[in-house]
Structure 1
Amino acid sequence: MHVILAIFRALGAIGVIVWRISMAIQGARVIGEAAGEVANLPRKMRFRSKANRKGLAVVDDPREAAAILLLGIARTGGEVTAEDKAAIRGEMVRRFEVDEARAEELLSRAAWASSGLSNPEDGIARMTNLIAQRLSPRELGELAAMLEVVAAADGRVSPAQDSYLA
């Protein structure tokens, strides 16, 4: 009888050891997950900051701001035509040195960011401030040339587009 009790005690001791090891593993897993959360906290906060903003407040890339200005000058001339979009994409591919897919993505993001504007000229101040802070005088000259090309993409430059350029 005492042999059977010794076997049960040994099994019980092994069971307790296995249970404690599994609890330690589970605790280490929880600590690892918490460390991952802490490590990702700055990235998560930046994302939440951007997610809570809308429209032009999201824009922080000068190429995206330039795309918004290019789309704005096309909208100022009336409905944005296929020629306008092609001119914008072509200028972005040439001047920004991006591929066609990235140019299309920039154009789409610019359209989304500026979609809430009732007047295309409303976004000029914010975008030009962002661009002026980050671009060199040579790059600003290139942007002005890009705006002129897009304004004349459909064959004419309207008075509203002249005002936008000024």
Structure 2
Amino acid sequence: KEIKDIVPFSLLTLHNEKYNKLQQSGMSQGKMKALLHNQAIGHLLKKIAPNVPEAILIDQFAKEEVYYSYLNKESVVQTENVYFSTKAEGIHLAVAAASILARYAFIKHFDNLSKAAGFKITKGAGAKVDEAAARLIHEKGLECLPAFVKLHFANTEKAKRLVASKYRK
């Protein structure tokens, strides 16, 4: 809570509906992340202007050349002094702060999803997640799923099977 009032940042959330549309159109998770990182860096650079950072460190989710290939049709915000490293939160405090802010936003988003669902939505994978998705389908209908889940994950099919067996009338 306190970090967000001290550190300049840009937080972008890709809601499930938009994620599902992009994924169904053939876009990879890596490309989605690259586009969001590029956009967030642009927002942050505007926010801190006229100050310019000495460097930008990205917690590596793709190799540098792959990251930039994902942005080949985009206006790349910054290419000079941009570095990529796995476990970057252990290299620089800024990445650690970003990771904390992202986790906080993720938890708050799940709280909002739980409110919308009317029950606690489970994070992660496994039987509890399958059960929660099955309950969503049972209580709100299959058409609600795009707002709550990533449709291409295996949990979706498992939940559909659970509904068929558990909630059969």
- Tell me, yes or no, whether TM beats 0.5: no
Q: TM-score scaled by structure 1? A: 0.23
- Radius of gyration: which is bigger? 1
The structure with more strand, counted as a fraction of residues: 2
The structure with more helix, counted as a fraction of residues: 1
Bigger relative contact order, structure 1 or 2, given CA contacts below 8 A and separation 6+? Answer: 1
